[in-house]
Amino acid sequence: MTSPLARAAVFALGAVAGYAADARFADPRRGHPVALFGSAATRLERRLWRDDRAAGAGYTALCVGTVAAGALALDRTVGRRPLGRAALAAAATWTVLGGTSLTREARTIGRSLAEGDLPAARERLPHLCGRDPSALDGQQIARAVVESVAENTADAVVNALAWGALAGTPGLLAFRAVNTLDAMVGHRSPRYARFGWASARLDDVAGWPGARLTALLTVAAAPHPRTAWRVWRRDGSAHPSPNAGQAESAFAGAVGVRLGGTLRYGERVEHRPVLGDELRPVTVDDIERACALSRRVGALALGTTVAGHVLLRALLGKRGRA
């Protein structure tokens, strides 16, 4: 039987290959496994929806449990074959990562703003976040982009990799299922206030470690680490989300800009605390700075994942022989 350390090394190799595939190819435009999962979850929701938390909890457990069980079964099936295990880890990593697509979308909006094409920037913003762009000016759109880059660096890159470090391929895929369900039914609305409660709370729990790791890696990757550290430690918990504020506050300090404030999601308006109140407002040029920072954080997260997974499996292997 292959040793735990050897299995971990094979997974690490696959994770590096999957990260490289995301960097080179980004997300496929058609047939993305996450989109297929979303379609299946939507069909299941139509059958199971009830306006109560118990129904939502059952829906969440069924969706996430099916993905986790399937990934675990597949991992065990190919586990004795190093090439198959590496290929599975690479495919799973590519599937769950969204860092390249994230920065491409952000840069597309940034180019529109730089060219003075505000209608194009407004039209593209919903591809990146759920805010209503109709009344936003160029500076407000730039702020929305930087905040979305920060939050999605945690969700679409670091958190997925962190769960890969903890639980290998099943961890990668299960986290993406949790995060996708949160985006689908976890938001506040009359339809999902109760039904989506379990998905939202599970995403908060699953996102807790990666959000803090994102902040730490952002400090490490920041041009001015002291500012990033200060703003993160002071303002990270002021955000209404237990996780989003960690990444956003660290990015605010790292880029040197002020984030937060009033946001509009359709008919719903939120007045959030300001992160980095003493810093300057966001400009269009800060979109590129945030994207470059996101890529550095992603690379650090990959290294942390590889090292953490190998170390964890080595320690568990020693305990198993003791």
Cα dihedral 112, 299, 152, 245 in deg (nearest 10): -120
Task: Find the mean pLDDT for residues 9-36.
Answer: 91
What 3-state class would DSSP assign to 47?
Answer: helix
Q: What would the pLDDT profile of 91-139 be if each residue is shown by its tens digit?
A: 999 999 999 999 999 999 999 999 999 999 999 999 998 788 888 999 9
Q: What would the pLDDT profile of 130-184 be if each residue is shown by its tens digit?
A: 788 888 999 999 999 999 999 999 999 999 999 999 999 999 999 999 999 999 9
How many whole angstroms separate alpha carbon 109 and alpha carbon 143? Answer: 11
The predicted structure's pLDDT at residue 32: 87
Does the pLDDT at position 266 exceed 60?
no
CA atoms within 13 A on the CB side of 13: 12
Alpha-carbon distance values, 239 to 261, 263, 276, 296 (Å): 10, 13, 12, 24
- What beta strand segments (E) does 156-307 contain? 259-265, 268-275
